[in-house]
Structures are given as C-alpha cells and as structure tokens.
Structure 1
Amino acid sequence: MDFVVTADGSSTLYHAEVGEHYHSKHGALQESKHVFIHSGLAYFIEKEKVDSVAILEVGFGTGLNFLQSTDYSIREGIKLQYCGIEAYPLAADIIFSMGYDNYVSLSVWNAFKDKYADALTRSVHFADDIDWQIAHCKVLEFKSDQLFDVIYFDAFAAIHQPEMWTDETLAHVCQYLRVGGVFVTYAITGNLKRSMKALGFEIEKAPGAPGKREMLRAVKL
C-alpha cells in the first residue's frame, strides 16, 4: 500500500493489485463528506425527520466514512448503528497512520483506535448511542437480520472491480435496505442506473464531489 496525499490535503491509499486509490485524488475528505455524509446520512435524516439511523457500508476500507459519520452523528444527536463490510481489512497500523485524527474529535479517534480490532469480530459499543461492527467477509457472503436506512456503496470503481457492481451484488446488498432507505455512491453509469431501477429504486443524478460532475442517489420504493 502506498500513502497518497489528495488535493484537499487528506490522505488515501493506492492499492497496486486493484490499480486504484481508496478515495478520490481530488480530495478524500471532501468526497467522504459530500457523497456519504451530506448526500446520504444528512439527506436521509432530513427526508425522514429521524434521530436514529442504521448504515451499511460496502467497502469499509480506511474507515474514513465511518469516522465522519460518527463525528456527525455525535454533533447532531443522532443514534447510529454502523456496519461496514470489508473482505480485506487493513492493518491497524496503516489505518492509524492515515492522519484522520485531524478530522474528527479526539474522543472519536481514541475510541476508533481502541475498538477497531474488536469491531472486526463482533458488534461493539463505540460511544453513547453508537454501535459499530465490521463484517469481515465478501459482500455476497454478508447476512444480517436487520434492515438498514442508508447504504454507502464505496467499492472500487467498476473498471477495476466489476464483480462489485453486478446485478447480483447490488441485489444482494439492497435486500438489506428498508423501503424509503437511501443508497448513495460516488459513481453514476448507465448500467448502474438501469440496475437500480430494476431493483425498484427511484434514482437521482445528484451533484458529484470535486472531480465528478454527478453521483447516484437512489431511494427504495
């Protein structure tokens, strides 16, 4: 893994085997906040007028989206359940070297460091009103007894990891999203739009993060 500083000063990793960065080179932090926090989590809260949200993330990666979601939820008084699917979890020393402590409160960062290893094996109580786990499995092996409110779909791009964007994969993931739930991803392609429509979603071309004109947001009907 190679550390890379993105355009907004935040760091990402380059995965040589996949041939892609974990986040946008135009700004890892900006992408996380725009695509997942503002266009996903905050959008759902405003739409549904709720104070409790369950998030399923496909591609936990470096944990940046989790950290931002947790920090946001604590500030806004939101009860959060968070499950990240990750087939190949990063080593703790790599994640803790990303510099993401600069973008969240000290209490969130310390809890993240203390509980990362445990979250890989079970659900942990992260903080007041926040529970967290990392499902250490491939996406098609993921199973859950609960439905989620928001899906962060943050897999590597289809050109590098096409198996993550198939109808089968999308259908498997979206079965765990409740009616009225929101699916967000940084990408938007014709194939993706057709797949989501076929799965019973109302799709929207939302403004993209820096470097991308548009992104996809979809609501399950």
Structure 2
Amino acid sequence: MERKIILTADGSHTLFVPELDEHFHSVHGAIQESMHVFIQNGLNASTKKELCIFEVGFGTGLNALLTLANQDEKHIRYFSIEKYPLNEAEYSKLNFANLLSEELAGKFQKMHAGSWNQPHLIAPNFELTKLNSDLTTFNVSSLPTFDLIYFDAFAPNKQADMWSEDIFRKLASHTNFGGIFVTYCAQGEVRRKLIRSGFNMKRIPGPPGKKEMLFGEKME
C-alpha cells in the first residue's frame, strides 16, 4: 500500500494511506494524540514499576518512542505487533524524535532498524520486541502476560477484523488482573465487545479533535 507523509496540526508527521483513506495518527496532532491516549491515560495510569506493554500496530513507532521518553523509573518490556512494517525510506523521514530531543533520534532509528521478532535493549530499562505478524492468527500466549495494552489499529470501518470480539477475548485472556486497555476509538459496539471480553470499559475525554476515547481495566 502507498503511504504518504503529511504534517499534522502540532507540527509532527503522520502517514496517509490513500487506498484506505486513513491516517496513522490524528491530523489534529500526531504527538498530541499519542501523548493523550497512550501515555497520559495508559502508561501514566499504571502504578506498576515493571510493565509488560502490548501494542497493536507498531506503525510509525511513535507510541513506543513516547513510552520510552516518558517511562520515568518504570522497567518496560514492550511488545508491538505489525503486519505491514514501514521501510527505511519511510521511517527515516519522520520528524518525531527531532521534535522531542536529539538524544531520542538515535533511539528512534534503533527501534526501526532493529530486526523483527527479536528483543532489543533500546535503553537500560526499555526492551522492545517488534512482531511482524497478523494479530488474528498470532499466539499471544507465547509472550509474557500484559499489564497495559495500546490498541492502535486502523479504525473499525477500515480494518474490521482487528476489532472483533475474538481478538478482544484473546487479549483479555492474556492480560493480568487490573491490566489497562486504552484506544483512541470510542464506538459503543467496540466498548460492548470489550466488556463482554472481560474488560471494565468506560468513555473518557479524548485528544484534541476527538470528543471521547476508551479506557478500561481487566476484571477477574
């Protein structure tokens, strides 16, 4: 699929896929959206000092980069699944690290350049494993149990198979009690599927340009 780099309202890049008429991040601000949804309401909402994070959709690597930049004293094992990885010509042009700090630029390149399906120590307390696979068939039980899930697939009307109850049940079955689930999506049907799958879900205020998002915790 063709992917075009475009500038969002906060000055950070995103990718646009003409075939799907879909953006990887909000045009109201890629960094702004990721910070609100996944860092402020995901990473910062967890009180655990040792975290296993599972991300659905590595994409541009922005969520992983911001997690690294905001991890504080947390020790993180970060697993991210992606069926269609970016190539070097694409990820090398993204401006996220340059907007954040010079130090992060090298780490961002290391995240993308590192081989798939192998763990890489990006920083002393941050280990990244990128999984080049399809979540619909991937065996999550091969991974450590999850404390935090970043669900960042394309929208349900663009990638419906990723938002199925089967997927949510698979993730819930491998999530620790009290584990957090966050996504930019706020659709009622998605929320109900997640509730039936074992997450206690609620709508909370969304990032700029979006009224609401979903936040939940794994029930017993």
TM class by shorter-chain length? over 0.9
1:78 aligns with 2:74: yes
Secondary structure, aligned partner of 2:70: helix
Alignment check: 8 A CA contact 1:12 1:22 kept? yes
Shift of 1:36: 0.2
The partner residue of 1:140 within 130, 136, 142 is 136
1:1-221 matches, cutoff 5 A: 1-45=3-47, 50-73=48-71, 76-143=72-139, 144-221=142-219
Structure 1 CA distance for aligned equivalents of residues 110 and 212 of structure 2: 37
Structure whose residues are more often helix by fraction: 1
Please, what is the CA RMSD of the aligned residues?
1.4
Unaligned runs of 5+ in 1: none
Deviation at 1:39, TM superposition (A): 0.4
SS at structure 2 position matched to 1:18: coil
Query: CA contact under 8 A between 2:61 and 2:111: conserved in structure 1?
Result: no
Structure 2, gaps ≥5 residues long? none
User: Are the aligned partners of 2:52 and 2:144 in contact in 1 as well (CA < 8 Å)?
Assistant: no
Q: Which amino acid in the other structure matches residue 107 of structure 2?
A: A
SS in 1 for 2:27: coil
Q: CA deviation at 1:115?
A: 4.6
Query: Does the Cα contact within 8 Å between 2:50 and 2:76 map onto a contact in 1?
Result: yes
Contact 2:81/2:135 (8 A) holds in 1: yes
Q: TM-score, normalised by structure 2?
A: 0.93
AA partner of residue 107 (structure 1): E
Could you tell which deviates more after superposition, 122-131 or 142-151?
A: 142-151
State the aligned residue count.
Answer: 215
C-alpha displacement of 1:33: 0.1
